[in-house]
Structure formats: C-alpha cells, structure tokens
Homo-oligomer: A and B are copies of this chain.
C-alpha cells in the first residue's frame, strides 16, 4: 500500500497509527481511529483497512467529515468518528483513473483505497472518485446508560498497557457525579476515581479519565486487563459511594 501511495503522491507523509487492531475486528478499529484522528492536522487523509469483507459486495468509500477525509471499506469502521464529525460528502470508490487497473479481490486496500487516498493527497476533488452515497453503513456502538443510581458502561478498547478504556465520557460523568462516586468492575467494587496512575498505590486498580477523556480502569505500573482478567465488552459501572 505504501508503495502504491508513493508512486502516485511522491511527497506524501505516511504515518502508521496502529498495526495492533485485532484481525477482522472492525469495531476495535473504529475506536482506535476515533481516539487518534483529531490530533492530526486538518486536511489529513486517513486510510483505514480493517476489512474482513474484502472482495464482497461491500463498497469502498471516501468521506469528507469535519476537517478530514476518511478512505476505506463501508463496513462501519468509520462509525465512531462519524458520530462526532458530520459527513459533508461521501462517495463510493469506482473503477477508473483513480484506481489500479486491476483490483485484487483480496486486497482492495492496495488497489482501490490506497490510490484514492494518494489522489486525494495530490488534490483531486473527492467527487471525482465516484458517485455520491448517502447511506454510509454504521455499526451499532455501545452507549452507556445513565440510571438513577449508576452509569452502566462497558470496555470499548484495551491499550498496550492493559488499561481498560470505557465508553463513559466526562460529560455524562459530570451529570451523574454530583456526590462522591466510585467505579465497579466484575469481581471488584469500590474502585477509586483518581487523576493519574501514580495517585494509586503500585499495582492498585483505579479509575481515571484518560487521554481521550473517557473513563478508564487502570492499575498503577501494571495491566488492569491482567489483574482483573477482563477485556473489551466487560461492564464498567460508576456508582454513588455509600
């Protein structure tokens, strides 16, 4: 893919965001992309290939949303980004001058998405890449539920340190946490909400708002994933202290 990109746009600056999305896990890719994109300069083009349906009838897309462009399969990998950034234009990538002449049925990343991203980097208008579409596929992403006595969220991402990042953001938390609160995970209650990892004792499980402003369950100097033995999908509750 990088060879194809540089063959079209020799001056492109290429950055790998991650190669650690679990194989075929579109939702994990969607959350990783959402955690990173807003820190890149306006005009950045994000080429995303978590693509278990490659070669099937699922479409390839280029989407202008916010100040960015996103290129990849229409399988929901942009769902989390698009919940925050309204779609301005979306097109279905077509065969033609902006794709490789032969498109592999098993590697559209190389033959369809990479050329599209490179031509966009050169300055080709997005509407030249194919016909407009209005029905971009969205995955259902789990939303936290705000009840009287608790917020019921879940782990949506696990980082390389074993921190368990939930879908509970600061805004919902602020609405609820008008009196002292703590967090609960399966088999563990009374988790203190702190400001940074080192506010907890070494190895102690704690909760805090991490670098994307979502509540995460962590362990100071250790892996909360390993200590608690849970992963993506595990429930995270915020409860009022007795």
Contacts and interface: CB of A to CB of B under 8 A. Distances in A.
Total copies of the chain: 3
A106 interface: yes
A78 interface: no
A62 to B, nearest CB: 20
Given A55-B195, A55-B198, A160-B23, A208 B6 contact: no
B3 A210 contact: no
- Using C-beta atoms within 8 Å of the partner chain, give the interface range for chain A: 35 or more
A15 B4 CA distance: 12
Interface of A: 1-4, 6-7, 10, 13-15, 23-24, 36-37, 39-41, 44, 52-56, 104-107, 110-111, 160-161, 195-199, 208-211, 216, 221, 223
B55 A221 contact: no
A214 to B, nearest CB: 11
Given A3-B41, A41-B10, A44-B3, A106 B52 contact: no
B40 A3 contact: yes
B6 A210 contact: no
A44 B2 CA distance: 12
Contacts of A198: 52-56
A124 to B, nearest CB: 18
Given A14-B15, A52-B198, 17 more contacts: A1-B39, A2-B40, A3-B41, A6-B13, A6-B15, A7-B39, A23-B161, A23-B223, A54-B197, A55-B195, A55-B199, A56-B196, A105-B208, A106-B196, A106-B211, A107-B210, A111-B211
